[in-house]
Amino acid sequence: MFSSFVGFDLPPLLLAAAVLFVTLLLRSWGQAPANLPPFPGRSVPVLGHLLLLGAEARERLLEIRKKTGNIFSMYFGGTLVIVLSGFEVLKEAMVKQGDVFVDRPAEGLTGILRVKTGIIGTSGSTWKENRGATFQILRSFGLGKDVMSQRIVEEIKFYMGYLEGLAGKAANVQDITTCAASNVTCRIVLGKRFNYDDSDFVTLLRYLHEYMTLVGGGNFHTWFPQVRYLPGDFFRTKRLLQLSAEITKRMKNFIEHMREQEKNGLAASNLISSYIEKMEEKQRSGEQTELTMHHLERVVFDLFVGGSETTATTLLWFYLYMIHFPDIQEKVYEEIVREIGTTRSPTGQDKLGLSYVKAVLLETQRLASISPFGIPHRCNRETTIAGYTIPKDVEILLHLDSVMLDDQIWDNAKMFRPERFLKDGKLSCPEFFVAFGLGKRSCPGEALAKIELFLFAVSVVQKFKIVPADPDNIPPRDYERGATCCPLPFSIRFVARSAA
């Protein structure tokens, strides 16, 4: 139709590109509000400052901060984004003005998906009620108590059995580690676990990993959702939409299967059933509620992402650092032997005596900084930060790297040095450790992630020496760009301590 209107025929790809360009050009016009935080340089029409960031956005933002200060503005396409850096600025926004910056962007977490359900992607009363109900259920299942530690230990037994079966041979354990971490979530959400050779389960977790890679803020479709209409899939936008639909479908299947089991009296205690029970209670009483089946699908989605991808990624970084710093690994082992021995499995109560182990895990989280920008926020009313105007509804990017990798805070921040978290031999975690974010939207799975990482790490080092597959070719400490920064695939060996 458009080709006929202009009087000549255009190839479909050229036509789509022309429409996209005009749309984005119109979006990029307009007068910027007064007294904004400074810009790092001139923006390019349509693209904004994306060319300034390039492929190494994480590194470039750290450089920009040095020039502009702790708060600056950028245009990502036609979208104005204000980047908050430095601990004091982040604390001012997310803690002192937490109610102002608590919401998510109006367009959803990413322009292409428009996620506005569940916990992570919602705002206002929807977020509060779904988050509150989920936390209440998790606490009833033992979150923060020994019963949760026992569930994790039960899964660790399967994981350790798998590592023993490797018999010291080199292996890439990314899939298995993700399966183990996810099974902890499955026990809570579904009331069951999956075998590591369950092809459907492994496929789902691979889908989740690919989804997290493509949904990251550095991808082109985050700021230009119109690319979905272009022929082909150069930006892998259509693949992201396909993954989102497939994962959501599987979440629905989990819920439907759980309801069928309940009818037959076979369902174990699980979060899905508890959520539905709360929802139906409110509906029967006539109480207005934001608990719905539509939100439940995304709550399960959110818990799978948070309970598998992020925990497994951190554990993989721990393995990688242990082969890069074998002397630190031996100190970890020595403390484990001294405090709990080599025969008894660790428990949650052992955290009190394993200060060096916890320091190593904190340093792993700090240096890996697997979520360098957190999740986008929105300023729900005009306010002021550091003397600059923050307009209503502007998108906010939390630059967590600016805290976690700040030399002024950590002293030689690029060095892996667990001792920075110890004071007189006791654990000391400062407030500017922001691996889980800060404020009202900090990671809801923080307590579970901490105990899970601790128990997995202690169990593995207690029984195995972690060594590189090839001592002359140690895997680099590089990562795959995405919503989380996962180490590039690598192989290692788990050598039984009795044979080391």
443 among annotated binding-site residues? yes
Q: What are phi and psi of 75, to 5 degrees?
A: -105, 120
Is 157 in contact with 460 (CB distance < 8 Å)? Answer: no
Question: Which residues fall in the annotated binding site for heme?
Answer: 443
Which residues are annotated as part of the binding site? 443
